[in-house]
Structure 1
Amino acid sequence: MMAQRDAVAALPPLARRAAAILAAAAFALPVLAQPVTPGQRATAQQVAQAGVPLSELAPNAPDRYTVKRGDTLWDLSKLFLSSPWRWPELWGMNLQDVRNPHLIYPGQQLVLEREGGRARLRLAQGDGALPTETVRVSPRVRVQPLADTSLPTLQPHLIEPFLSEPMIVDEGTLEHAPRIVAAPENRVLIARGDRVYARGSAEAPLMLKTGGGDEYRVFRNAVPLRDPVTRAVLGYEAQYLGSARLVRGEDKATVQERSGDTRELPVAATLDVVSARSEMRVGDRLLPDPGRQLVSYTPRAPEGRIEGAVVSMYGESVALAGQNQVVVINKGTADGLAPGHVLAIQHTGATLVDRSQPGERTEIKLPNERNGLMMVFRPFERLSYALILETGQGVKVGDRVVNPR
């Protein structure tokens, strides 16, 4: 370490500054990306002392596994444990080797040890550190990418599109949002690359912002989402159409009439359509784009008791949702849900008449059957978007969601 400091000190000032920035980024990025909660660390420490009972292992848990590119923490937990959302226990099995469970890298080898009715997981000798290449330091500035190759909890592409697309709004939110008022050449349908004109309200006109923030999402038709049991309206889901960039804000212009009189008219704002999932039209509404949201998802069970139901499927004409699809459930932050909470999916048992005994007609209900797992990734007050992690028969509206155990 001292030799390394001496080598850096010998660099020219510009090179020393670049080295300091690279070193700070190398240490900061992984920590900011995936925090570990005190509860998860406590669970891991408990498992580290006692190990995991053999009965908790997955039936086909391998004795040795080499981590490969494309794996996720969910994949590894599912590979070794009977319940993949219990990843803190997987971490606890090799707590001595892996100080942070989110810093596992392709090429490292995991070894499963079984002894005394308990199981522990460790990294193969020499695999405890981040694989690096030896670089000779010379007195000149070098640019080297610092891509984070550690394993994600889940594949990011499964969730990222839904962080900005679906939107739960209150009644009246879209009615007061800026609206598209015209398109060039009187077009009925508007697509990507088209220019549109929009207006805000008198109190909040569409104006260019200092320092950016001129990206907008385009929505239509706030559809009420009802509780499948009580039929109460829990919120409104706006249909996402695409995005547009504000290039010129609203203004006012003086117009001279034939009579010679003048009057002042409002000038609509100008926007360019950047992307279009569906055709837009006059009357569609604009909401500010929240930008890319870097959220850490650490699958875990909710702290409190959850008993809810699936309210709707995200997407048009979808009656049955499968793995990696998104649904809306009737529980949210008011019920204690947070990003990363894992819930079990249950098919509601049918109600029928028992005709097995001659002369008797007793109405009975069949038990609810487990049908997979889902993870909440975007909760609102009374509703949440959840990603289906696994399911056997597909998920439909009305299916129950409960704590995973």
Structure 2
Amino acid sequence: MVTRARRAPSESTGSPRERPAADRRGGLAAVVAGALLSAALPAFAALPVLPQQRATAQQVAQAGVPLSELAPDAPDSYTVKRGDTLWDISRLFLRSPWRWPELWGMNLQQIRNPHLIYPGQLLELERVDGRARLRMGRRDGASGLPTVRLQPRVRSAPLEDPAISAVSMQAIAPFLNEAQVLTREQLDGAPRIVATPDSRVLVTAGQTAYVRGDLQGARDFMLFRETRPLVDPQTREVLGYEAAFVGTAEFQRPEDTSGALPVPASFVLTSARQEAGVGDRLVPLPPRDYASYAPHAPQAPVDGRVVSVYGEAVAGGSNQVVAINRGTRDGLERGHVLAVWRAGKAARDTTLAGPGQAIQLPDERSGLLFVFRTFDRVSYALIVQAVEPVRAGDRFSQP
């Protein structure tokens, strides 16, 4: 017997399910993201699927998902919309959005690659004998995509919508390369601006700056200043130095040391978040990375603390970025989903006779983090869900 859910998904927020108020708050990432993603993101056909993810999907494909693992209001069908993410759709059907391989495994025959789900495709949920499976429905056309009727006039449109991403790329795009953590050695050895033409105090995009230092053969650089130490809340050890992004610069002419006095290398600023000046330092600019990240839980237990909220904020809500005190050497990788916890407060049991007994309330989960950039000892994570504001010192663990 096939049964259907009664509730249809909410469309009031532009995502599969309406989020709590804390999840609807915009942050620094949401404000500055739009201009950086004006071009379409690349297709995700070549994205890898981890062996353990494929194994989970294959296991689910054989048996389906228990009804107890479905979201309480999982709809009977859902049409993928532009702006949806794999995270959103997983959260729509399942209790835990990072368990996307199970969503994929509910229909391995039709969903060959979970990174290639497109706007317009219809997903239908079937419940049979206590198990659930997901299948690709059909609308007007045989492919599950809507029929487009063309009118006899000239129009401009993309050839097709890009495949949906794992999470909102607009939220993390500004931080993929701009969020930079340096060691003390990297900071001390970084090339620096030593002069500007006509002794200008500041220069901006399109203008020249003179640089000295080891360029390491690179041509494109990021400019930064005002580094601040990232201090481990647990050990009080400096994990690295977070660099404030100034802009980007391109190499033009090498330094000349053949004469009596050295002649600095010449650079042209290619972009400027703020004006650059003498003393600003340079670090090679990595290639732009707009790859999708598949959400997945860490395989091993993880325990750490939030170091800081990116920018000047004291606390962060959904779509803001935090630095955490674990990195690649601790086994963290891009795509890891982490639960963040608010420490339980001290209280007193006043139900007993006398002054009462001191007690410690348990920690409560306050949100979820999505790791998108990792360094040796530090990582950056997007707050994808927040019941309460996330603050420096909050604990995180595997979800």
Q: Same-fold call, TM > 0.5?
A: yes
- Residue number in structure 2 paired with 1:235: 240
Residue by residue, what CA displacement relative to the aligned partner does 1:351-398 show, whole Å, maximum 9, x if unpaired?
Answer: 244444342353321111111111111111221111111112221101
Q: Give the share of equivalent positions with the same residue, in percent.
A: 54
- Residue number in structure 2 paired with 1:82: 95
Residues 98 and 128 of structure 1 are in contact (CA less than 8 Å); yes or no, is this contact kept in structure 2? no
Structure 2 unaligned runs (5+)? 1-41, 149-156
Q: In structure 2, what is the Cα distance between the partners aligned to 1:132 and 1:198?
A: 55
User: Do residues 301 (structure 1) and 297 (structure 2) align?
Assistant: yes
Residues 118 and 161 of structure 2 are in contact (CA less than 8 Å); yes or no, is this contact kept in structure 1? no
Distance 1:114 1:130, change over 3 A: closer
Residues 53 and 118 of structure 1 are in contact (CA less than 8 Å); yes or no, is this contact kept in structure 2? yes
**Partner amino acid for 2:135?**
R
- Residue number in structure 2 paired with 1:162: 175
- 3-state SS of the aligned residue for 2:126? strand
Aligned residues: 349
User: Do residues 182 (structure 1) and 195 (structure 2) align?
Assistant: yes
**Partner amino acid for 2:219?**
D
Of 264, 267, 282 in structure 2, the residue corresponding to residue 268 of structure 1 is 264
Q: How does 1:5-404 map to 2 (within 5 A)?
A: 30-32=44-46, 34-125=47-138, 129=143, 149-200=162-213, 204=214, 206=215, 213-252=218-257, 254=259, 264-315=260-311, 317-404=312-399
**Partner amino acid for 1:102?**
H
Q: In structure 2, what is the Cα distance between the partners aligned to 1:30 and 1:281?
A: 40
How far apart are 1:131 and its partner, in Å?
5.2
**Partner amino acid for 1:277?**
R
Q: In structure 2, what is the Cα distance between the partners aligned to 1:299 and 1:197?
A: 43
Q: In structure 1, what is the Cα distance between the partners aligned to 2:225 and 2:171?
A: 24
How far apart are 1:229 and its partner, in Å?
2.1
Q: In structure 2, what is the Cα distance between the partners aligned to 1:327 and 1:38?
A: 29
**Partner amino acid for 1:214?**
R
**Partner amino acid for 2:172?**
I
**Partner amino acid for 1:305?**
P
Residue by residue, what CA displacement relative to the aligned partner does 1:318-368 show, whole Å, maximum 9, x if unpaired?
Answer: 111111111011111122111101001111111244444342353321111
**Partner amino acid for 1:314?**
Y
How far apart are 1:41 and its partner, in Å?
0.9
How far apart are 1:146 and its partner, in Å?
7.0
Q: In structure 2, what is the Cα distance between the partners aligned to 1:119 and 1:174?
A: 54
Q: Comparing both chains, which one has the higher relative contact order based on Cα–Cα distances under 8 Å and sequence gaps of 6 or more? A: 2
In terms of mean alpha carbon deviation, does 191-200 or 59-68 score higher? 191-200
Distance 1:128 1:86, change over 3 A: farther
Q: In structure 2, what is the Cα distance between the partners aligned to 1:101 and 1:332?
A: 27
Structure 1 unaligned runs (5+)? 1-27, 135-143, 255-263
Q: In structure 1, what is the Cα distance between the partners aligned to 2:346 and 2:270?
A: 50
Distance 1:66 1:296, change over 3 A: closer
**Partner amino acid for 1:46?**
Q
Q: In structure 2, what is the Cα distance between the partners aligned to 1:31 and 1:220?
A: 38
Structure of larger gyration radius? 1
Q: In structure 2, what is the Cα distance between the partners aligned to 1:74 and 1:362?
A: 44
How far apart are 1:129 and its partner, in Å?
4.4
- 3-state SS of the aligned residue for 2:287? coil
CA RMSD of aligned residues (A): 2.5
Distance 1:148 1:359, change over 3 A: same
Q: In structure 1, what is the Cα distance between the partners aligned to 2:89 and 2:211?
A: 49
Residues 120 and 144 of structure 2 are in contact (CA less than 8 Å); yes or no, is this contact kept in structure 1? no
